[in-house]
């Protein structure tokens, strides 16, 4: 964020998707298929807390379906990936509020991501397990944010 040292603003989007993983005789095969329709939007504020660590708070909006807000559990990590110019990181967020279809949601979201040399973030595997008051379990996995 402008004017605040160590603080960044993140915003990414993702289309509707279907993720398929299969264990075959040749090994593990995975595929992500895009679906037409509204996009999910991710917005957050990231505060660098030390060398390779950060905390984050933000929201994921699922168009008319509702929104989840979250904050970091502990600290996220960011460091070298073994590929020149590419960093890798991970963070766990706790759901702090849900609206719409997600009203009353609680749970954790895990995120494994990469950061390219120009600051481009690809989050390939955010996984959320949110529990709603009426006992429904919503599992959102393999959403790809760019």
Is position 129 within any domain? yes
Is position 59 within any domain? yes
What is the number of alpha carbons within 13 Å of residue 59 lying toward its C-beta? Answer: 11
Q: How many domains does the chain have?
A: 1
Is position 2 within any domain? no
Is position 37 within any domain? yes
pTM above 0.85, yes or no: no
**pLDDT given at position 133:** 53
Is position 137 within any domain? yes
**pLDDT given at position 146:** 41
Tens-digit pLDDT profile for residues 38-70: 888 889 999 999 999 999 999 999 889 899 999
**pLDDT given at position 94:** 92
Is position 126 within any domain? yes
Q: Which residues of 15-25 are buried (b: 16+ CB within 10 A; e: fewer)?
A: eeeeeeeeeee
Is position 98 within any domain? yes
Residue 85: give the domain boundaries.
7-141
Tens-digit pLDDT profile for residues 79-134: 999 999 999 999 999 999 999 988 888 888 888 888 899 888 887 655 555 555 55
Is position 146 within any domain? no
Element (H, E) at 22: strand 7-24
Does position 22 have pLDDT exceeding 80, yes or no? yes
């Amino acid at each position: 964020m402008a004017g605040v040292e160590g603080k960044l603003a993140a915003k990414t989007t993702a289309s509707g998707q279907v993720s398929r993983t299969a264990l075959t005789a040749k090994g593990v095969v995975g595929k992500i298929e895009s679906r037409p329709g509204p996009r999910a939007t991710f917005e957050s504020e990231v505060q660098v807390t030390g060398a390779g660590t950060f905390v984050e708070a933000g929201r994921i909006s699922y168009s008319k379906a509702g929104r989840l807000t979250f904050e970091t559990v502990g600290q996220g990590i960011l460091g070298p990936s073994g590929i020149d110019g590419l960093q890798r990181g991970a963070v766990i967020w706790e759901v702090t509020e849900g609206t719409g279809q997600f009203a009353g949601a609680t749970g954790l979201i895990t995120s494994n991501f990469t950061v390219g040399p120009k600051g481009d973030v690809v989050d390939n595997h955010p996984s959320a397990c949110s529990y709603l008051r009426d006992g429904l379990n919503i599992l959102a996995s393999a959403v790809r944010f760019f």
